[in-house]
Amino acid sequence: MSWVNAVIQGVLLGGLYALFACGLSLMFGVMKVINLAHGDLAVVAAYLALGVITVTHVPAVWSFVLVVPLFAVLGYVLQRTLIQASLDRSVLTTLLVTFGLSVVIENGLLQFFSANSHSLGIGSLVSDSFSIGSQITIAYLQLVIFAVAVVVLLGLQYFLSSSKQGRLIRAVADDREAAQLAGADYRHVFGIAAAIAFGTVALAGLAFGMYSSFNPTIGTDQLLLFAFEAVVIGGLGSLWGTLAGGMLLGVVQQIGAQISSADQILAGQLVFLLVLVVMPRGITGGRRSMA
Amino acid sequence: MSDGHLGLLEVRELTVHHGQLCALSGVSLSVSPGEVYAMIGANGAGKSTLLRAIAGLDRPTSGSIALDGADITQLRPERRVKAGVVLVPEGRRLFPSLTVAENLQVGSAYARPGPWSIERVYELFGWMAERRSQRAEQLSGGEQQAVAIGRALVANPRVLLLDELSLGLAPVVVRRIYGLLPDLLASGLTVLVVEQDVSQVLRVATHIHCLLEGRTTLQGPPGDLTAEGIEDAYFGLGGSRGQASGISEVRP
């Protein structure tokens, strides 16, 4: 039964990974930008929430009302300025620039918040849980995070496939020059895609901050890595693949932890490498389109 | 401008470089409303570069482009669409992962007001409505070309730029597509078409303009041009043969 529990915990954790990964996937799918600062941005969102909670005394779970829109705006502005400027030079430049951004963010956070760990206090909600049988215990928080992840990914999928703006995003992802010939300002569309990606990464950062403790370096050390692994395992550019990839990564990590707690990360890495070798396009075959 | 008669689309002394290569060298043209203005020339003559520059995709080194008297040389491509210049690019360039209907919807997202709508495009191409939910990449070349034309039409252009419509298509399909031109003109459009297939274009054009290595070698109404003159200008042969009256021939 403890194996069943490991799988269930893994699936729930996978939801969080998918939430981290969908922004990364979106930015790569639409702008061909690999955002190496993605994990750090999630951590910034968590620290920002910490500040919001301290100043306004709102319950931690409500901090997203302020943080997520703020990050969306930040995403649009950053895309229209720094990222677009590096895109205009070359795709390689975007790698260097986002890597630089990651270093700047990490050191900035160390300067302001020290290397100590923090967490977003949500009171008893963090440990409240219910049991199925004697072996399986499910925390409400994890269930809520998983539900949020599924709703966000479903919503994003629906937005991309059915809305006018989503259609433009897919058109620009397919062929930005042809989109210009249809009258679309692809820079603005890029900005909107970045706003969505930043909104989701903020949400993921907040969820992570409630689920576990965080420090300034965890963004690159863990979050970016897990997001990458979820995207690659699931197949680039497919949101469903990202969800599946996140869940597979979560399950493998939990099973690894079941064997020995030191094997948790290693197990994930091994499956990631295995997928790269055996199914380089990911377990869903990596469709070319975004939706 | 010095001459009193201004066309709808005025290109003056346009020069475009691709890096070191001079793709277009001082080309001027004037397209009047309702015309089918045809650019002909061999591969690499600069025809597509000219259309891309008019659409705003290639930046000219010098020269100017004006639409209905307003200079559009500095406008971004998407702004030119709103001004009324729409290009059907070489190789169709549909959005492959989008459906037929979605391709047309993207085309009409920034449309000017005018006679063309998605419904009217479905009327023009009888087969299209039934297959609106198919992805563009699943269509044949001729069908893709039709969708590409439809995507441009729904933007309600004043000047429609058509780049190598016949490329990679069977002759019967090409004839059918060129057979649409009267319908397009009847809706008030002006057409600037680039074509390698001279015989096709001679049937429909009101004005022929031949490019060779980025320069104008011949232009005039098709009735005034001789087959030999066009051949010479197209391939850059001799140059003494085709000087019939009423034809302005410019040697590089």
What is the mean pLDDT of the segment spanning B211-232?
92
Token pair belonging to B179: 């057979």
Instruction: Tell me, yes or no, whether A5 lies in a domain.
Output: no
Residue from B75, B92, B95 whose CB has the most chain A CBs within 10 Å, to mutate: B95
**Residue B3: is its pLDDT beyond 50?**
no
Q: Nearest 10 degrees: CA dihedral of A166, A168, A171, A175?
A: -130
pLDDT value at position B170? 87
Instruction: Tell me, yes or no, whether A58 lies in a domain.
Output: yes
What's phi and psi for B191, nearest 5 deg?
-125, 130
| d(C-alpha B60, C-alpha B73), whole Å | 8
- Stretch (H or E) spanning A138: strand A136-139
**Tens-digit pLDDT profile for residues A185-194:** 999 999 999 9
| 19-58 in chain B: CB under 8 A from chain A | 55-57
Nearest to A167 among B89, B106, B111 (CB): B106
Cβ of A288 under 8 Å from any chain B Cβ?
A: yes
pLDDT value at position B245? 39
Provide the shortest C-alpha distance from residue A54 to chain B (in Å): 45
Question: Strand B36-40 to strand B207-212: parallel, antiparallel, or no bridges (unpaired)?
Answer: parallel
Do the Cβ atoms of A180 and B78 come within 8 Å? yes
Do the Cβ atoms of A164 and B55 come within 8 Å? no
| 122-181 in chain B: CB under 8 A from chain A | 151-152, 155
Instruction: Tell me, yes or no, whether A259 lies in a domain.
Output: no
Judged on CB neighbours under 10 Å (0-12, 13-18, 19+), B182 is exposed
Provide the shortest C-alpha distance from residue A172 to chain B (in Å): 8
Provide the shortest C-alpha distance from residue A108 to chain B (in Å): 38
**Tens-digit pLDDT profile for residues B125-157:** 999 999 999 999 999 999 999 999 999 999 999
**Residue B8: is its pLDDT beyond 60?**
yes
Nearest to B97 among A164, A182, A289 (CB): A289
All residues at 6 or more sequence positions from B74 whose CB lies less than 8 Å from its CB, including other chains: none
| C-beta neighbour count of B107 within 10 angstroms | 31
**What does each C-alpha distance from A213 to A51, A192, A194 come to in angstroms?**
15, 31, 27
Cβ of A239 under 8 Å from any chain B Cβ?
A: no
pLDDT value at position B238? 60
Q: What is the total count of domains within chain A?
A: 1
**Tens-digit pLDDT profile for residues A61-120:** 889 999 999 999 999 999 999 999 999 999 899 999 999 999 999 999 999 999 999 988
pLDDT value at position B7? 87
Do the Cβ atoms of A185 and B76 come within 8 Å? yes
Which positions in chain B touch A177 (Cβ < 8 Å)? 57, 77, 89, 93
Q: Which domains does chain B have, with CATH numbers?
A: 9-90+158-233 (3.40.50.300)
pLDDT band, very low/low/confident/very high, at A290 (cuts 50, 70, 90): low
Question: Strand B21-31 to strand B9-18: parallel, antiparallel, or no bridges (unpaired)?
Answer: antiparallel
Do the Cβ atoms of B110 and A184 come within 8 Å? yes
CB contact at 8 A, B214 and B45: yes
Provide the shortest C-alpha distance from residue B104 to chain A (in Å): 9
Nearest to B165 by CA among B245, B88, B70: B88
Provide the shortest C-alpha distance from residue B217 to chain A (in Å): 29
**Tens-digit pLDDT profile for residues A207-229:** 999 999 999 999 998 999 999 99
| d(C-alpha B214, C-alpha B44), whole Å | 8
Helix segments in chain B, DSSP class H? 47-55, 77-83, 100-108, 118-124, 141-153, 171-178, 181-186, 198-204, 227-235
pLDDT band, very low/low/confident/very high, at B249 (cuts 50, 70, 90): low
What is the mean pLDDT of the segment spanning B163-189?
89
- Closest residue in A to B101 (Cα) is A167
Helix (H, G, I), strand (E, B), or coil: what is residue B210? strand
Which positions in chain A touch B94 (Cβ < 8 Å)? 178
Instruction: Tell me, yes or no, whether A209 lies in a domain.
Output: yes
pLDDT band, very low/low/confident/very high, at B166 (cuts 50, 70, 90): confident
pLDDT band, very low/low/confident/very high, at A128 (cuts 50, 70, 90): confident
**Residue B117: is its pLDDT beyond 90?**
yes
* Domain span including residue A208: 18-216
Instruction: Tell me, yes or no, whether A275 lies in a domain.
Output: no
**Residue A286: is its pLDDT beyond 80?**
no
Token pair belonging to B185: 């003109």
Among A57-61, A219-223, B108-112, the range scoring the smallest mean pLDDT is: A57-61
CB contact at 8 A, B220 and B207: yes
pLDDT value at position B248? 53
All residues at 6 or more sequence positions from B3 whose CB lies less than 8 Å from its CB, including other chains: none
pLDDT value at position B242? 42
Task: Return the bridge partners of B219, or none.
Answer: B209, B248
| d(C-alpha B131, C-alpha B113), whole Å | 26
Do the Cβ atoms of A182 and B77 come within 8 Å? no
Judged on CB neighbours under 10 Å (0-12, 13-18, 19+), A280 is exposed
**Residue B77: is its pLDDT beyond 70?**
yes
- Residue in this structure with the two tokens 């969708």, named with its chain if needed: B147
Which positions in chain A touch B151 (Cβ < 8 Å)? 182
Residue from A161, A181, A288 whose CB has the most chain B CBs within 10 Å, to mutate: A181
Instruction: Tell me, yes or no, whether A268 lies in a domain.
Output: no
ipTM score of the complex?
A: 0.88
pLDDT value at position B241? 43
| d(C-alpha A5, C-alpha A251), whole Å | 10
pLDDT value at position A62? 87
pLDDT band, very low/low/confident/very high, at B75 (cuts 50, 70, 90): very high
- Closest residue in B to A176 (Cα) is B95
- Residue in this structure with the two tokens 């933007």, named with its chain if needed: B155
**Residue B177: is its pLDDT beyond 90?**
no
**CA B74 distance to own-chain centroid:** 20
Percent of chain A surpassing pLDDT 90: 75
All residues at 6 or more sequence positions from A234 whose CB lies less than 8 Å from its CB, including other chains: A21, A25, A240, A241, A242, A243, A244, A245, A246, A248, A282, A283, A284
Residue from B79, B92, B97 whose CB has the most chain A CBs within 10 Å, to mutate: B97
Cβ of A164 under 8 Å from any chain B Cβ?
A: yes
pLDDT value at position A280? 84
Which positions in chain B touch A170 (Cβ < 8 Å)? 95, 97-98, 102
**What does each C-alpha distance from A27 to A35, A40, A162, A267 come to in angstroms?**
7, 15, 19, 27
- Closest residue in A to B161 (Cα) is A181
- Closest residue in B to A163 (Cα) is B102
What is the mean pLDDT of the segment spanning B175-188?
89
A91/B58: higher pLDDT: B58
pLDDT band, very low/low/confident/very high, at A284 (cuts 50, 70, 90): confident
Provide the shortest C-alpha distance from residue B243 to chain A (in Å): 39
CB contact at 8 A, B252 and B212: yes
Average pLDDT, chain A: 92
Instruction: Tell me, yes or no, whether A204 lies in a domain.
Output: yes
Instruction: Tell me, yes or no, whether A291 lies in a domain.
Output: no
What is the mean pLDDT of the segment spanning B58-71?
96
pLDDT value at position A125? 73
A2/B34: higher pLDDT: B34
What is the mean pLDDT of the segment spanning A139-154?
94
Nearest to A14 by CA among A233, A173, A274, A214: A233
Q: Whole-prediction pTM value?
A: 0.90
Cβ of B81 under 8 Å from any chain A Cβ?
A: yes
Provide the shortest C-alpha distance from residue A151 to chain B (in Å): 24
Provide the shortest C-alpha distance from residue A35 to chain B (in Å): 24
